[in-house]
């Protein structure tokens, strides 16, 4: 039997009402939301009843996703589903780290609240945006980016899909050049140029927050966005620099598969990562947490 990996999603799949059914049905999930509410009043209310625009604000998106994702992961754990490894896409890496025991969940939630505030503050300094580029190879996307002073390839998601961050004033022409090259640039539902040099100050400020955090040895193998390799003892560096560095997601998934993982469970409100894995390797099993829960409960 192969190994299982939990993969925690990033911003973009959030929606009004996320996590409500989990909290109503599973006491362990309700406990996670209660913990988050005790540290940041109204978190569960934002998840369950917040508007789409409210949930798009990075300072809200990140704590709300943390709450929903940790609640989902703890629900599976309570049912005896323990992963052999974990990884998280961007924000999801902080949730994965908390679940893996790098720090306690209260510290993880406080860190993600601060991370969201810092990244939003930095995003508001510039008129920036992100787009997913499809149908082109990484080298082609990089070549187009090099024509622009402030557009960067930032998330290497799966074959035929790379996310870019950049100044909004350059993104329209960039999208036209991508189209001319045979690809398409799809705007993302985020406010900011994440994982790019526009986030350098946020990364430095987050490193200061991490300096005051108590770390423990993770009891589940945790993979890094920056290196695509398992974490060592440089937790603070990996989590802070991740904010302004590319996410090597395709490489992470390939390394997990090479380590023996053949089942991926997406811990989050959507199926973005599940779909990416289907484009990386068709021979492994990938499903959402809701699909897996249904499978476990109907077994």
Residues annotated as part of the active site? 90, 195
Residue 174 vs residues 127, 179, 194, 208: alpha-carbon distances, Å: 15, 9, 17, 35
Two tokens at 286? Answer: 């990938």
Q: How far lies 210's CA from each of 205, 227, 247, 250, 279, in Å?
A: 9, 19, 20, 27, 35
Determine which helix (DSSP H) or strand (DSSP E) holds 230, and give its type and residue range. Answer: none
- CB proximity list for 108: less than 8 A, separation 6 or greater: 66, 70, 94, 95, 97, 98, 102
How close are the terminal C-alpha atoms of the chain, in Å?
Answer: 17
107 sits in the region (left: phi over 0; alpha: psi -120 to 50; else beta) called alpha
CB 261 within 8 A of CB 84: yes
CA angle 142/147/148 to nearest 5° reads: 100
Q: Do 96 and 87 meet the contact criterion of CB atoms below 8 Å apart?
A: yes
What three-state secondary structure class fits 23? Answer: helix
CB 76 within 8 A of CB 289: yes
Rounded CA separation 141/257 (Å): 26
């Amino acid at each position: 039997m192969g190994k299982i990996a939990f993969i925690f999603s990033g911003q973009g799949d959030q929606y009004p009402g996320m996590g409500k059914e989990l909290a109503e049905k599973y006491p362990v999930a309700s406990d996670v939301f209660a913990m988050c509410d005790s540290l940041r009043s109204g978190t569960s209310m934002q998840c369950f009843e917040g508007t789409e625009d409210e949930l798009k604000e990075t300072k809200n998106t990140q704590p709300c996703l943390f709450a929903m994702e940790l609640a989902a992961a703890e629900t599976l754990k309570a049912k005896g589903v323990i992963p052999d490894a974990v990884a998280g896409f961007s924000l999801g890496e902080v949730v994965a780290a908390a679940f893996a025991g790098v720090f306690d969940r209260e510290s993880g939630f406080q860190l993600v609240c601060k991370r969201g505030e810092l990244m939003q503050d930095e995003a508001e300094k510039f008129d920036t945006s992100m787009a997913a580029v499809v149908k082109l190879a990484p080298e082609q996307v990089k070549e187009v980016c090099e024509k622009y002073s402030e557009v960067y390839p930032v998330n290497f998601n799966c074959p035929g899909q790379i996310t870019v961050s950049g100044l909004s004033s350059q993104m329209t022409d960039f999208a036209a050049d991508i189209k001319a090259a045979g690809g398409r640039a799809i705007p993302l539902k985020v406010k900011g140029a994440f994982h790019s040099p526009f986030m350098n100050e946020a990364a430095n400020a987050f490193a200061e927050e991490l300096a005051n955090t108590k770390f423990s040895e993770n009891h589940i193998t945790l993979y890094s966005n920056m290196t695509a390799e398992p974490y060592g003892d440089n937790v603070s560096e990996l989590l802070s620099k991740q904010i302004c560095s590319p996410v090597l997601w395709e490489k992470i998934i390939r390394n997990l598969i090479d380590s023996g993982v053949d089942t991926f469970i997406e811990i989050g409100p959507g199926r973005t990562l599940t779909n990416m894995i289907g484009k990386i390797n068709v021979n492994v099993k990938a499903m959402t947490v809701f699909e897996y829960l249904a499978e476990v409960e109907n077994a």
